[in-house]
């Protein structure tokens, strides 16, 4: 690890003191006992491996000291990375977002000190930044639209830049936001240029990692001009990662996932919808042999504005149906009004619609003939004389709807098949290929979060993680599991189908730990 001269340490510390915040000089001490960390730059990221630590994740429920024992265990198990997703409200004074509490920042100092001590890189992330969050409640002012929010956000990142100037990027990096959604590129880049500039005016060498667009699932090519790395996510398909997660709408009604399993998207788009690729406007398709009459069940999940659908068995129309969400009571279970999108309604449903498939059919298509978009959250097929077979679907965005097979299984009964790729290859197509565009810029991608909620069957989790980790290792990507301790983690995850091992007062999921260790470089 590169060490700074005493003159550089004193100069950097003096600059931080001049800014009104004390500088943690011990973070620069290095020390003969500190394990070396690899050099890190925006286009040559190390293959870090580790966890998200949530001590300052959400005010007021998670606002406490980071735990040295976490860092010790992470080091002892062979990992070298932590991401700290934090809520800026944890370090402001009396809800004044321009006043920063020095004592609160000292808790972050300790995390960096533990990282230095145990050879663990620390990534500081504002999960809730001034003017931005993916959580509830939303910020009163938006960093994408409001200049004051952007000014305050720049103030906070400048504060971190001043406080930690001189700490090498091998030890510390900054992660500006958590999972921006589909923000228009002009405000997106305006904000990122401002924040990157605010940091680098103070600390020109600081490594900055920006989450990709669409909740971290796709790269932003324009960010390369800022010489920042990018972070993606490992949550696809959500039917595996977020099964029965309370904060995901209707997930309690999904079928229990299996892996390898079916990977189907259930969103259909109007043929006239702008901004959607032609491939994504194709019909949902089921190809197979129907020697007996069958019944197709489509469970409606959400409708935007309106949706007209047509179901065909070969060339014969077997169902036409229209959905028009609105205020008050109706077929929907929840009214969702969108004043920001022309005042339309995007209501949630939990409604089954049925279509009778004649014997002899070879191909069933579900097409959208007008409206905006509709999401079917589950498909079911029942052949006369047999039980129904069902498959949950993912929502996705601008992705081709499910292309499924209907085939006899090993027991002779009919079942859904992918009609294409599955498992590791599917994950590669969905989570790796979109990031290939960044390959010419170097090793500039990592996985900032991944994991599965504790209601997903454990065998499914192990098989799914194995495929994801293998893909990431082949790319040389680093990763950080969400979380170390908690419902997605390896400690105290409270799964009903795991035989835990007691370690340092925690319940350890040894099988997941061993799987992660299998992919350490």
198 three-state secondary structure: helix
For the residues 510-516, what does the mean pLDDT come to? 98
- Of 9-13, 289-293, 484-488, the one with minimum mean pLDDT is 9-13
Q: What is the DSSP string of 127-170?
A: EEETTEESSSSPPSS-TTT-HHHHHHHHHHHHHHHHHHTTS-TT
In the predicted structure, residue 198 carries a pLDDT above the cut 50 = yes
pLDDT at 5: 40
Alpha carbon distance 191, 205 (integer Å)? 20
pLDDT at 494: 98
Asked if 305 and 338 touch (Cβ cutoff 8 Å), the reply is no
pLDDT at 196: 98
Q: What is the pLDDT of residues 287-317, one digit of tens each?
A: 998 999 999 999 999 999 999 999 999 999 9
pLDDT at 27: 59
Q: What is the pLDDT of residues 414-462, one digit of tens each?
A: 888 775 556 898 899 889 999 999 999 999 999 999 999 999 999 999 9
Block residue for tokens 């419902």 = 487
Give residue limits of the domains in the chain.
Answer: 6-240+445-518, 262-421
Q: What is the pLDDT of residues 112-159, one digit of tens each?
A: 999 999 999 999 999 999 999 999 899 999 999 999 999 999 999 999
Q: Residue 256 has what DSSP assignment?
A: P
Same fold, 6-240+445-518 and 262-421: no
Instruction: Enter the tokens of residue 31.
Output: 């020390």
Instruction: Enter the tokens of residue 182.
Output: 């589909």
Q: What is the CB neighbour count within 10 angstroms for residue 268?
A: 24
Instruction: Enter the tokens of residue 299.
Output: 């469970």
Alpha carbon distance 421, 433 (integer Å)? 14
Q: What CA–CA distances, in Å, run from 382 to 117, 148, 379, 414?
A: 60, 57, 10, 9
pLDDT at 426: 83
Alpha carbon distance 173, 512 (integer Å)? 27
Q: Which of the two residues, 255 and 53, has the higher pLDDT score?
A: 53
Q: What is the pLDDT of residues 312-354, one digit of tens each?
A: 999 999 999 999 999 999 999 999 999 988 999 999 999 999 9
Block residue for tokens 């605010």 = 198
pLDDT interval class at 26 (50, 70, 90)? low
In the predicted structure, residue 9 carries a pLDDT above the cut 50 = no
For the residues 261-266, what does the mean pLDDT come to? 80
Alpha carbon distance 282, 245 (integer Å)? 30
Instruction: Enter the tokens of residue 387.
Output: 């039980």
Alpha carbon distance 140, 135 (integer Å)? 13
42 φ/ψ sector (left φ>0, alpha ψ -120 to 50, else beta): alpha
CATH of 6-240+445-518, one of 3.30.930.10, 1.10.760.10, 3.20.20.80, 1.10.260.40: 3.20.20.80
Instruction: Enter the tokens of residue 491.
Output: 């400690």
Asked if 436 and 403 touch (Cβ cutoff 8 Å), the reply is no
pTM, entire model: 0.78
314 φ/ψ sector (left φ>0, alpha ψ -120 to 50, else beta): left
32 three-state secondary structure: coil
For the residues 505-519, what does the mean pLDDT come to? 98
Q: Crossing angle, helix 6-18 and helix 147-164, to 10 degrees? A: 150
In the chain, pLDDT over 90 holds for what percent of residues?
77
**Closest C-alpha to 298, from 274, 267, 261:** 267
For the residues 384-396, what does the mean pLDDT come to? 84
- Domain boundaries 262-421, corresponding CATH code: 2.60.120
Overall size of the chain counted in residues? 521
Phi, psi torsion values for 332, nearest 5 degrees: -80, 165
Block residue for tokens 């279509």 = 355
pLDDT at 13: 40
pLDDT interval class at 242 (50, 70, 90)? very high
Block residue for tokens 């790319």 = 475
Asked if 254 and 393 touch (Cβ cutoff 8 Å), the reply is no
**Closest C-alpha to 203, from 167, 232, 231:** 167
Asked if 372 and 272 touch (Cβ cutoff 8 Å), the reply is no
**Closest C-alpha to 117, from 72, 73, 61:** 72
Q: What CA–CA distances, in Å, run from 156 to 11, 27, 148, 247, 371?
A: 22, 20, 13, 29, 44
Q: What is the pLDDT of residues 159-170, one digit of tens each?
A: 999 999 999 999
Average pLDDT across the chain, whole number: 91
Instruction: Enter the tokens of residue 178.
Output: 């958590």
For the residues 76-98, what does the mean pLDDT come to? 97
**Closest C-alpha to 155, from 99, 204, 89:** 99
Q: What is the pLDDT of residues 39-48, one digit of tens each?
A: 999 999 999 9
Q: Strand 294-313 vs strand 316-323: parallel, antiparallel, or unpaired?
A: antiparallel
For the residues 396-407, what does the mean pLDDT come to? 86
Q: What is the pLDDT of residues 353-383, one digit of tens each?
A: 999 999 999 999 999 999 999 999 999 999 9
């Amino acid at each position: 690890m590169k060490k700074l001269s005493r003159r550089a340490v004193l100069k950097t510390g003096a600059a931080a003191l001049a800014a009104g915040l004390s500088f943690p000089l011990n973070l620069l001490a290095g020390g003969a006992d500190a394990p070396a960390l690899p050099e890190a730059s925006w286009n040559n990221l190390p293959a870090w491996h580790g966890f998200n630590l949530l001590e300052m994740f959400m005010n007021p429920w998670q606002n406490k000291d980071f735990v040295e024992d976490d860092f010790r265990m992470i080091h002892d198990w062979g990992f070298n990375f932590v991401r700290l997703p934090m809520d800026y409200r944890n370090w402001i004074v009396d809800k004044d977002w321009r006043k920063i509490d020095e004592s609160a920042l000292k808790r972050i100092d300790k995390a960096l000190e533990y990282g230095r001590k145990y050879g663990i890189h620390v990534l500081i992330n504002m999960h809730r930044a001034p003017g931005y969050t993916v959580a509830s409640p939303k910020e009163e002012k938006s960093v994408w639209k409001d200049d004051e929010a952007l000014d305050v956000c720049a103030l906070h990142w400048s504060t971190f830049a001043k406080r930690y100037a001189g700490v090498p990027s091998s030890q510390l990096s900054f992660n500006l936001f958590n999972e921006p959604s589909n923000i228009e590129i002009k405000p997106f880049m305006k904000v990122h240029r401002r924040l990157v500039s605010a940091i680098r005016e103070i600390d020109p060498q600081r490594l900055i990692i920006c989450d990709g667009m669409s909740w971290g699932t796709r790269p932003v090519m324009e960010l390369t001009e800022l010489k920042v790395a990018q972070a993606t996510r490992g949550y696809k398909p959500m039917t595996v990662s977020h099964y029965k997660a309370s904060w995901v709408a209707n997930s309690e009604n999904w079928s229990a996932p299996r892996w390898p399993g079916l990977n189907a998207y259930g969103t259909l788009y109007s043929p006239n919808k702008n901004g959607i690729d032609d491939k994504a406007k194709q019909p949902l398709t089921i190809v197979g042999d129907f020697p007996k009459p069958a019944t197709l069940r489509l469970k409606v999940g959400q409708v935007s504005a309106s949706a007209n659908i047509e179901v065909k068995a070969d060339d014969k129309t077997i169902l036409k149906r229209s959905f028009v969400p609105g205020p008050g009571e109706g077929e929907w279970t929840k009214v969702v009004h969108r004043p920001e999108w022309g005042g339309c309604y995007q209501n949630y449903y939990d409604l089954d619609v049925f279509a009778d498939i004649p014997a002899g059919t070879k191909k069933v298509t579900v097409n959208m003939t007008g409206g905006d978009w509709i999401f079917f959250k589950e498909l079911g097929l029942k052949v006369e004389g047999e039980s129904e077979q069902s498959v949950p679907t993912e929502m996705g965005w601008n992705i081709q709807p499910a292309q499924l097979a209907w085939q006899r299984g090993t027991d002779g009964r009919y079942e859904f098949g992918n009609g294409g790729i599955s498992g590791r290859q599917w994950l590669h197509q969905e989570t790796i290929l979109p990031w290939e565009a960044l390959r010419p810029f170097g090793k500039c991608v990592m996985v900032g979060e991944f994991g599965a909620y504790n209601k997903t069957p454990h065998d499914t989790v192990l098989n799914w993680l194995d495929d994801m980790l293998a893909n990431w290792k082949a790319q040389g990507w680093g990763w950080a599991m969400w979380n170390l301790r908690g419902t997605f983690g390896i400690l105290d995850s409270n799964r009903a189908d795991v035989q835990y091992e007691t370690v340092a007062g925690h319940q350890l999921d040894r099988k997941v730990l061993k799987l992660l260790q299998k992919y350490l470089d």
